[in-house]
Amino acid sequence: MIQANDPKIRSWVEVPSDSDFPIQNLPFGVFRTPGLSPRICTAIGHYVADLQVLAEHGFFDDLGVPRHVFARPYLNDFIALGKDATRAVRNRIADILDDRLEDWDASELAGYFLHLRDEVQMLMPVKVGDYTDFYSSREHATNVGIMFRGKENALMPNWLHLPVGYHGRASSIVVSGTPVRRPKGQMQMEDGAPPVFGPSRLLDFELEMAFVIGRGSQLGTSVSTAEAEDYIFGMVLFNDWSARDIQRWEYVPLGPFLGKSFASTMSPWVVTLDALEPFRVEGPVQSPQPLPYLQCEGPKSFDIRLEVDIIPQSGKGKTVCQSNFRYLYWSMAQQLAHHTVNGCNLQIGDLMASGTISGPTPDSFGSMLELSWRGTKPIPMPDGSERKFLLDGDTVVMRGWSENDSGIRVGFGEAVGKILPSL
């Protein structure tokens, strides 16, 4: 068992029962304050714990982890130490924060390494190299297929045989809290009409999760489904903002482009696969059986509850979607095996997103496109307005957490973005 996951341990730092960040989570992120340069941290209750300060006091020296990796503006160098080292650091942090262990005497240092999360600025945790977006929710692909092609041809012939994906744009991935400017572009207002140019009218969110690559692979080699999770450092919440009108006009025949590349928002905390281990579950049964290189042994999904709120400028918002990561048809292991089956190499810091995570019921659909069924079923808001797609001033909040019988809740915090009007 991974020591930091022990459900019996408690921290001397107060952790409210509904916190995403008990001692059993210990995700990794990067923060700064007006007085402190960017550095690596973890979260505990309402606090961030500054790992650079703990490193400078020698808490990680005997683990063979160099102190300087904690004084970096990104997690990449830390992740590059490998899972044995990062797991040892996470276990050591659990020792330091554990209320039973007095060997470490870190509580005397609390004033030096703990900061209220509300008082620090969280930064992009990872320098993202390449970004890939999959399309792995059967419910989402089916809903979109019904809307655009009709019930008969809802799923394309390849969909049940491979995890469909495309190469996205890494430069416009931003950390939670960064405002998102409504994109402009070409759209066709009616079939056969000439295109017009202007601000997108059909701006949407996509409820997704993404995983961070924690180990590189060599060009020309492939990673099997059995090895795949060794290459995954951890997971984040991910909002793949989408301009449906731009997307619809441009996507033929090469797929998504400017309707997607204007912004994607990720949550600041990378939750390790180790922390998610207690919440491992089977994904949906796959039929037909995929080709051998996509077959897996054992459960490869995770029970992660997901929610999306829309908060209008008026401040009166509501939860519009409740879904779960476990609904995804294709697992991360299968996505990664497929991504590398042609010999494409992985690099530390690459990000792979799941695709919109829709569930089986209308309240679990992970985009406005589906929730409002292409604008035909507007969603009433508490302030009397209604939403078909997102309006300027709307804030979209995504949350995710796992919880089980032991009462331990391991959460991701939030991925938040507010829509600003086009310039």
The set of catalytic residues is 140
Nearer to Mn ion, 304 or 381 (CB): 304
What distance in Å separates the CA atoms of residue 260 and residue 183, rounded to the nearest whole number?
9
Pairing of strands 242-243, 386-387: unpaired
Q: Give yes or no for a contact between 321 and 363, defined as CB atoms under 8 angstroms apart.
A: yes
Q: Measured between alpha carbons, how far is residue 160 from residues 200, 312, 337, 353 in Å?
A: 32, 38, 15, 18
As given in the structure block, the two tokens for residue 164 are 């469909």
Span of 63-71, 119-127, 201-209, 229-237 interacting with Mn ion by CB under 5 A: 201-209
As given in the structure block, the two tokens for residue 406 are 């032991």
**Min. distance of Cβ 206 from Mn ion in angstroms?**
4
Under the binding rule (CB under 5 A), the answer on residue 370 touching Mn ion is no
Beta bridge partners of 237: 209
**Residues of span 232-261 touching Mn ion by CB under 5 A:** 240
What distance in Å separates the CA atoms of residue 347 and residue 345, rounded to the nearest whole number?
7
For the four alpha carbons of 286, 291, 292 and 293, in that order, the dihedral sign comes to negative
The type of residue at 138 is R
**Min. distance of Cβ 320 from Mn ion in angstroms?**
17
Nearer to Mn ion, 113 or 135 (CB): 135
**Min. distance of Cβ 202 from Mn ion in angstroms?**
15
As given in the structure block, the two tokens for residue 33 are 């304050």
Pairing of strands 180-181, 409-420: parallel
Interface pattern 159-198 for Mn ion (x via CB under 5 A): ----------------------------------------
**Min. distance of Cβ 59 from Mn ion in angstroms?**
40
Nearer to Mn ion, 50 or 240 (CB): 240
**Residues of span 101-160 touching Mn ion by CB under 5 A:** 133
**Min. distance of Cβ 216 from Mn ion in angstroms?**
25
Beta bridge partners of 196: 187
Which of 206, 245, 250, 274 binds Mn ion (CB under 5 A)? It is 206
Q: Give yes or no for a contact between 80 and 348, defined as CB atoms under 8 angstroms apart.
A: yes
Span of 3-11, 199-207, 296-304, 387-395 interacting with Mn ion by CB under 5 A: 199-207
Nearer to Mn ion, 113 or 262 (CB): 262
Instruction: With CB under 5 A as the rule, give the number of residues binding Mn ion.
Output: 3
Nearer to Mn ion, 133 or 394 (CB): 133
**Min. distance of Cβ 213 from Mn ion in angstroms?**
18
Q: Measured between alpha carbons, how far is residue 2 from residues 28, 90, 210, 331 in Å?
A: 16, 10, 23, 23
Nearer to Mn ion, 98 or 240 (CB): 240
Residue found by looking up tokens 């033929």 in the block: 252
Q: State whether residue 111 is helix, strand or coil.
A: helix
What percent of the chain is helix, strand and coil (3-state, nearest 5)? 25, 30, 50
Applying CB under 5 A, the residues found at the interface with Mn ion are 133, 206, 240
